[in-house]
Structure 1
Amino acid sequence: MNKNKRFTLFLAGGLLITTVLAGCAGNPSSNSNQAGNTNNADHKATDNNKRFEIEVLTDSGGIQLPEGENDRLKMLLDKQLNTDLKLNLFTDYAQVNLRYAGANYPDMVWVNRVSMQEFARKGLLLDLTPYLDKLAPATQFIGEENLNKGMVDGKVYGISKRASIPFFNIWVRKDWLDHLGLPVPTTLEQFFEVAKAFTEDDPDGNNVNDTYGYTGGELGAFDPIYSAFGVGSIGTFYQRDGRLINSMYDPNMPAAIAFITSMINAGVVDPDLLANSGTSAEQRAFQGRVGMIWHGFPRMTHPDRVNEYKAVHPDAEWIQIPALKGPGGEFAGTWDVGTSPGMHAISKSVEKDPEKLQRVFDMLNYMATPEGASLVAHGEEGRHWNREDGKIVRTELRSKEHAFVYQLLGRDEMEYLQSGYPAEAIKFSADTPRIETYNGLLDIPEAFNPADAERYMLEEMAKFLYGKRALGEYSDFLSTLSGTFNYQLMLDSAEKSLKELDIIK
């Protein structure tokens, strides 16, 4: 493997565990003006009299597009590029797989590392390597490091968004803490005590036993507990004392499982946690059913979300808590150094129409110009935002007419976040220590089926955590994972790849 080219595996919590956050992408360190010297006229289609329909099948991120004339970004992009841009939002990746299985290909598609590798090797995605000169503004905008994240077998298939920053922390109802006279928890033990009090001591004062201590999205909700034991999220690779470790084989994992099981057995965990997909956990928290949640600040502090929970509970006050201290240190989940907040690929079928393909390139290149990047990030100046004292200030109209899903290349992250979210919440999350993981730098071995291995890991971890399988059988679980599901291939491949990248010795 060429050490100058980093191959990325877009895995959150191991393989394909994704979390819904509205509007999460970008990289504050990237030079947002790098593509600024390119004349906008260069990004318009060569034949502007011909209108092209361009379909982008992309992750909904938990939102819906504005309807009709309220979809201002579509209207303005269509006018600029002479297109009929259709963003088709999915909520389940099975919708993408179904489209490709039925040869019903969108022009562009949201991909993760696993699906990109699969589709590329089946010849379903366009190899962008010969076209990189035509995508120069777009590739300059995202940066070479991010471009390399879209490589499979030495060829570029994916166009990654700019890198992001961590968003997640445990959030707690401070008004509930105050009501019960409890401090903000900073250790595992205090966390358990608060969760127990929120479940048993009527924190909302309604004299009804209707609250729980902790929730989050499916098994990913337990990430900040694993990390307090020094253990990464399910299926992640990281270092300890100079050695590469996979979380499933981490000797501290059984202790982390036992702690979580004790919380579940105590009845302090949201009983619907395993079914909490999309914004389900958020809704339970906002409705006053749960007092702590593993969630991201873009959702917890967005004015619309704050208004939503204040409408139900006017005194509700949600605050971030520090990384929990535990036997393995002080970490809040993981942060993958090679991951991408989003990536899109162009279907191979588009190549049959060179003019349409050029229009797709024009669209991406326009989004890399100062004008286009500002439009998809913030909307129209004077309508959706104004600049006050050097800062972008959003208008009320923006929430009705702007959708972040048009940010196909990402955005200037810090400028974007500071225009819509509290600076203290951004800094708190960015400064929180995380376990640094490397899944995003790895390729998947040819004979390894990540979907089967992921499914087995998630199913068995749920059994261990919820007491449906004895923890004494954990070594048997690992033997099956390594053998029957060929996970040893992934372990060996990761070791080899990270040595080639000089990350481990």
Structure 2
Amino acid sequence: MTTRGGSTLRKIIQRACLPRLMTTVVIISIISGCSTHSENAQETATQKSAKRGNISVTIYDRGNIPSGQGTIENNVMTKWINQAGPVDVTFVSVPRTQSEQKLNTLFAGGGAPDLILEYAPQIKNPLIDQGQLRPLDDMIERYSTTYKALLAKFPALRKAGTGTDGKLYQFGRINETIPQRGVFIRKDWLDKLHLNIPQTTEEMYQVAKAFTEQDPDGNGMNDTYGLALAYNSVAILNEMFGVTYPNFVVQGNELIHGWDHIQAVTAFKKRLYNEGLVDKEFYIDKYGAKAKRDFLNGKIGIYMDQFNVPITFYNDFYLGLKKSVPEAELAIMPYPATPVGRFNPILVNPVQMTGLVNAEAKDPESVMKYVDFAASETFMKTMYYGFEGVHSKTLPGQCPQVTDLSKWQKEFNYASGDFAMLSSPTLAGKCYFGVEKMDTKDPLQQEVKKMFEANASFVDFDLQMAGPTHSEQMPQLTKDLQQILTDTMKQVDVGEGDIWMKSILTPNYSPEQAKQDAIAVWEKAGGAQVDAWYKAFYEKDKDRIILSRDIYDIFKQQRALQNK
């Protein structure tokens, strides 16, 4: 099997420090398959027989806990973790959208938890530089079994978790890598108005205009929007135009600041806003709650959101839409071509660093025991399928099947992924790929499964993702350069930087002028040094990190495993 540019899959995986990945995944899949209940029980009993410590661990609070399920720190999952795990755990909530502020406050006050679960490099790297985090090699060597074995099989975990001083600071996992987000369009509206799925952003604008102005729901009222422009929709539009945090794009063989891309996507958003094709108050819908409500009530024609866990989209979106508008039909659309090119959606980071240890942790042995437990198949199976005999059932030789979806949804769906931030699901075989949880007898679930599979099929391996790689794989800047980047993001970030948002909302403030102003802010802060550093790294050292092409190869490999 050869890849673009003439390199073999083996060579590309070796370049990314991912040796033996395909072989290892296949062997694990064949040997382990799906663990039996008795094996899980034996593993749990062994863990409970050891001396118990007491640690604290962060957990994201997304504000989505169903009524009657307790709190993010005290619920069915946390109780099981404390009963089945090797240590007693106190969970400390961190608001998902304010994790940086909360963690900085906790560390400043001397009360940061022992184990920090966090995705964002821009939050983690400063903590490493400040000496707030503990190097991990000694505790892994002395106390670990499960994670030590994972490091031996996947050296990329060590590489991705190592700081600029050469010490290992982060625990990680191997993810199923698939498109992280999706663009959903009301197919029934397209059919009614005799329109096709847009292939370019110009066609997307025309469809959004028709959805807004031609009464697609047939109620005789002017009450529909062409598309949503809040929360995840912002990130997806940015990805369509080839740019994401930290605003750098590949042009030819160079890594440059994507000012032209940001200007182009801002102009597109401004056009939608000016012509009333989006909610005029989208900018105060910070977490997308109103946009989601409008979509579920059948008032939005193009909706963009996370789509890396199909059962979650089915539970949180599709059921609600079909309940409100039974005749609604959704199609998934590929990212359209833009004035600055066509790009793939961001794929889920396949080698993802998620765990760090407080330098002040008093019991590193217990922290390591918990990490091993959280990386085990027992933990992973429970977070994915709930309790055997309660939420799911496993027949000999088959994958677990969720038998009470409603109960699983209430008790696990809202946070199981966050509790499982140290789990590597696909290493346990086909049972843990996202589509395997979909009920083959439920026609609505099968519709979502087809959309999910179609979204994966849209990936064009000749195209670049936004940026040179997943943002979590970007090389770590030096401390002074990272500070420049952090200090300027509130004004110049492609997501919701103040300058770009002002351009969208202000009639006489053009995207061209916004670009000039953003560049001025950037250069005044010393941003030219950041540009030069990234440019030089990409020219000389880019093979030291996992790039888009390497993520594509892991994606192909996992699809091949899934289809066996």
- TM normalised by structure 1 equals 0.81
Partner of 1:19: none
Q: Does 1:437 align with 2:441?
A: no
Q: Is the 8 A contact 1:324 1:332 kept in 2?
A: no
Match for residue 271 of structure 1 among 274, 280, 284: 280
Match for residue 417 of structure 1 among 434, 450, 472: 434
- What secondary structure is seen at the aligned counterpart in 1 of 2:335? coil
Q: Is the 8 A contact 1:188 1:225 kept in 2?
A: no
Distance 1:139 1:147, change over 3 A: farther
Q: Does 1:348 align with 2:387?
A: no
Partner of 1:88: 92
Distance 1:195 1:451, change over 3 A: same
- What secondary structure is seen at the aligned counterpart in 1 of 2:480? coil
- What secondary structure is seen at the aligned counterpart in 2 of 1:97? helix
Match for residue 464 of structure 1 among 494, 503, 526: 503
Partner of 1:105: 112
Q: How far off its partner does 1:503 sit? A: 4.4
Partner of 1:77: 81
Give runs of aligned pairs for residues 199-210 of structure 1, distance below 5 A: 199-210=212-223
Number of residue-to-residue matches in the alignment: 472
Match for residue 367 of structure 1 among 369, 374, 395: 374
Match for residue 322 of structure 1 among 334, 342, 365: 334
Distance 1:254 1:118, change over 3 A: closer
Q: Does 1:121 align with 2:122?
A: no
Identity, in percent, stands at 18
Q: Root-mean-square deviation (CA), in Å? A: 3.6
What runs of 5+ residues in structure 2 fail to find an aligned partner? 1-13, 439-447, 460-464, 545-564
Q: How far off its partner does 1:47 sit? A: 4.7
Q: Does 1:236 align with 2:275?
A: no
Q: Is the 8 A contact 2:57 2:115 kept in 1?
A: yes
C-alpha separation between the residues in 2 aligned to 1:359 and 1:226?
Answer: 42
Partner of 2:554: none
Partner of 1:179: 192
Deviates more, 1:79-88 or 1:171-180: 79-88
Distance 1:174 1:117, change over 3 A: same
Distance 1:64 1:345, change over 3 A: farther
Distance 1:254 1:238, change over 3 A: closer
- What secondary structure is seen at the aligned counterpart in 1 of 2:28? coil
Q: How far off its partner does 1:290 sit? A: 1.7
Deviates more, 1:491-500 or 1:205-214: 491-500
What runs of 5+ residues in structure 1 fail to find an aligned partner? 8-26
Q: How far off its partner does 1:496 sit? A: 2.7
Partner of 2:529: 489
Distance 1:5 1:332, change over 3 A: closer
Distance 1:137 1:31, change over 3 A: farther
C-alpha separation between the residues in 1 aligned to 2:190 and 2:23?
Answer: 35
Q: Does 1:135 align with 2:144?
A: yes
Partner of 1:64: 65
Q: Does 1:246 align with 2:285?
A: no
Q: Is the 8 A contact 1:114 1:444 kept in 2?
A: no
Q: Is the 8 A contact 1:161 1:408 kept in 2?
A: yes
Q: How far off its partner does 1:181 sit? A: 2.9
In structure 2, what residue type is equivalent to 1:60? D
C-alpha separation between the residues in 1 aligned to 2:269 and 2:216?
Answer: 22
Distance 1:360 1:497, change over 3 A: same
Partner of 1:287: 297
Distance 1:290 1:334, change over 3 A: same
Q: How far off its partner does 1:233 sit? A: 2.7
Q: Is the 8 A contact 1:386 1:392 kept in 2?
A: yes
Q: How far off its partner does 1:267 sit? A: 1.0
Q: Is the 8 A contact 2:207 2:226 kept in 1?
A: yes
Question: 1:348-372: per-residue Cα shift (whole Å, max 9, x none)?
Answer: 121x3x3xx2122112212333333
Give runs of aligned pairs for residues 390-409 of structure 1, distance below 5 A: 390-396=398-404, 397-402=407-412, 403-409=416-422
Q: Is the 8 A contact 1:227 1:330 kept in 2?
A: no
In structure 1, what residue type is equivalent to 2:436? S
C-alpha separation between the residues in 2 aligned to 1:146 and 1:349?
Answer: 24
Q: Is the 8 A contact 2:491 2:518 kept in 1?
A: no
Distance 1:261 1:454, change over 3 A: same
Distance 1:318 1:56, change over 3 A: farther
Q: Does 1:44 align with 2:47?
A: yes
In structure 2, what residue type is equivalent to 1:274? Y
Q: Is the 8 A contact 2:233 2:304 kept in 1?
A: yes
Distance 1:365 1:235, change over 3 A: closer
- Structure with greater proportional helix content: 2
Q: Is the 8 A contact 2:54 2:366 kept in 1?
A: no
Q: How far off its partner does 1:235 sit? A: 3.2
Match for residue 196 of structure 1 among 204, 209, 220: 209
In structure 2, what residue type is equivalent to 1:390? Q
Q: How far off its partner does 1:441 sit? A: 2.6
C-alpha separation between the residues in 1 aligned to 2:526 and 2:158?
Answer: 30
Partner of 1:451: 486
In structure 2, what residue type is equivalent to 1:282? K
Q: Is the 8 A contact 1:158 1:344 kept in 2?
A: yes
Q: How far off its partner does 1:387 sit? A: 4.0
Distance 1:424 1:242, change over 3 A: same
Distance 1:57 1:364, change over 3 A: same
Deviates more, 1:259-268 or 1:87-96: 87-96
Q: Does 1:259 align with 2:268?
A: yes
C-alpha separation between the residues in 2 aligned to 1:88 and 1:263?
Answer: 41
Q: How far off its partner does 1:61 sit? A: 4.9
Q: How far off its partner does 1:467 sit? A: 3.8
Distance 1:255 1:95, change over 3 A: closer
Q: Is the 8 A contact 2:227 2:278 kept in 1?
A: yes
Q: Is the 8 A contact 1:45 1:358 kept in 2?
A: no
Deviates more, 1:236-245 or 1:325-334: 325-334
Partner of 1:427: 453
C-alpha separation between the residues in 1 aligned to 2:293 and 2:112?
Answer: 34
Question: 1:280-303: per-residue Cα shift (whole Å, max 9, x none)?
Answer: 232331123322112122377323
C-alpha separation between the residues in 2 aligned to 1:225 and 1:369?
Answer: 37
